[in-house]
Amino acid sequence: MSKFVIEGGIKLKGKVNIGGFKNAAVAIVPATLLCPGRCIIENVPRIDDINVFIKIFSELGADAKYLDDSSILVDASDMKECYLKNGLSKKMRASYYLLGAGLGRFKKASTLLPGGCDIGRRPIDQHIKGFEALGATVEITPEGRVNVQADRLVGTKIYLDVVSVGATINIMLAAVYAEGRTIIENAAKEPHIVDTANFLNSMGADIKGAGTDVIKINGVNKLTGCTYRVIPDQIEAGTYMIAAAATKGDIIIDDIIPKHLEPVTAKLKEMGVRIEEYGDSMRVFYEHELTPVNIQTLPYPGFPTDLQQPMTVLLSSLKGESIVVEGVSEDRFKYVNEIKKMGANIEFTKKQAKIIGTPLLRGTVVQATDLRAGAALIIAGLVAEGLTEITDIYHIDRGYEHIENKFMNLGAKIKRVKDDDL
């Protein structure tokens, strides 16, 4: 097993390039299975979740491989069914998109229940509701296998009881080939919803309204291969924005869409962080002592839940009190016990954290409990006095491409070491 060892106290300086959006890529890559042809997906982050999909595709009879560091070729021409026998689906949350893609193309699909980060109960009831509304039957076996099947899929109106990114995308995937029109009401509006819809349209789908709360899908008879470029990763960009503020640094972040970062930009400016935008670049720099703010995570365009943990670390290093309310995920404060080991003063429940900031975080051994918590602990290590060791960094590798290299290029003293190297 590997770990990160970080020496804190360095102000980040320099430039960092943002890669393709993890949350978009893990929807777009399985969506290629809808097409009995060749698709090239560009600007794909080289992360473990994508590597798992490539292994899954091999078992399903599709060909998938990297053409270079950031482009993937998927050819699903020879794929006959979407029945995943092994437990690879349990390695990540996004594997549930195989159900929508398989149902859409083959009218049936089967996988084990998805895995992913332990951040509370994340049911797939809205996914099931959507599949059933389109005419499918859904069975979950005692062993945790999900089977979906339909004689035919027929477009209909589907109202989501809660705003769900995963359900919105999965219903879009299944509805692409459905007869007639499907309308998703109370749809999620995140940028990766729009990106997935744009990709599907590039293959020949007819989807309108993505990015609003009403999405309309007119079913089509066929899709064809295409070349498509994934949008930049707003969560990766936000992570570096917060890291710059926490370390009192001065960095330029390239290859971004500033619009997608507005909730983060607004909160950092409210704290006193200086931010200058230049087209698809942004300068984030520290000028004077920052003031704490209150945060509530919400579905897009609210403050993103995936940046709650890094922001909590930043707030814990400032003088003063703040409240962070988690309005999306059920149980996303487990990691707080890890930063408390470093001296953070935080009281928390499943939904809320009360922070009394202290500028005296101290390095120690901590465990990455999930993907975004791992990124937050890196920021804590960069701020803390002394050495910080972060274990279970495989969580971080699921969603951040070359994270230690990017931080090192900004001047951070961080290295990846294997236990037997110590």
In 184-279, which ranges are continuous DSSP H helix?
191-202, 234-246, 262-271
- In this prediction, residues 378-384 reach a mean pLDDT of 98
Q: Are residue 308 and residue 193 in the same domain, yes or no?
A: no
Rounded (5°) CA angle 41-198-216? 145
Cβ neighbour number for residue 161 with a 10 Å cutoff:
10
Query: Is 6 in the same domain as 69?
Result: no
| Residue linked to tokens 């097409």 | 35
| pLDDT bracket for residue 320 (50, 70, 90) | very high
Which of helix, strand or coil describes residue 82? Answer: coil
Q: At which of 204, 229, 254 does a domain end? A: 229
Q: Are residues 29 and 11 in the same domain?
A: no
Kindly list the catalytic residues.
Answer: 117
pLDDT in tens, 32-47: 999 999 999 999 999 9
**137 pLDDT higher than 90:** yes
Q: What is the pLDDT of residue 265?
A: 98
Domain count across the chain: 2
Residues 190-226 have pLDDT tens digits of 999 999 999 999 999 999 999 999 999 999 999 999 9
Asked if the model's pLDDT at residue 120 lies above 70, the reply is no
Tens-digit pLDDT profile for residues 219-257: 999 999 999 999 999 999 999 999 999 999 999 999 999
Whether residues 87 and 14 share a domain: the answer is no
With beta carbons less than 8 A apart as the criterion, state whether 211 and 184 touch.
Answer: no
SS3 content of the chain, % helix, strand, coil (to 5): 35, 25, 40
The reported pLDDT for the residue numbered 116 is 55
Q: Do 166 and 296 fall into the same domain?
A: no
Say if residue 50 is in the same domain as residue 186. yes
392 token code pair = 């279970």
Q: H or E stretch including 409?
A: helix 403-409
Residue 274 included in any domain? no
337 inside domain: yes
pLDDT surpasses 70 at 163: yes
Q: Are residues 198 and 341 in the same domain?
A: no
**241 within domain boundaries:** no
pLDDT by residue (tens digit) across 92-117? 878 999 999 999 999 999 998 886 55
Q: Per-residue pLDDT for 121 more than 70?
A: no
Check residue 122 and give its pLDDT: 55
Residue 302 is part of which domain span?
Answer: 2-18+290-421
Residue 14 clears pLDDT 90, i.e. is over it = yes
CATH of the domain at 349: 3.65.10.10
Residue 354 lies in a domain: yes
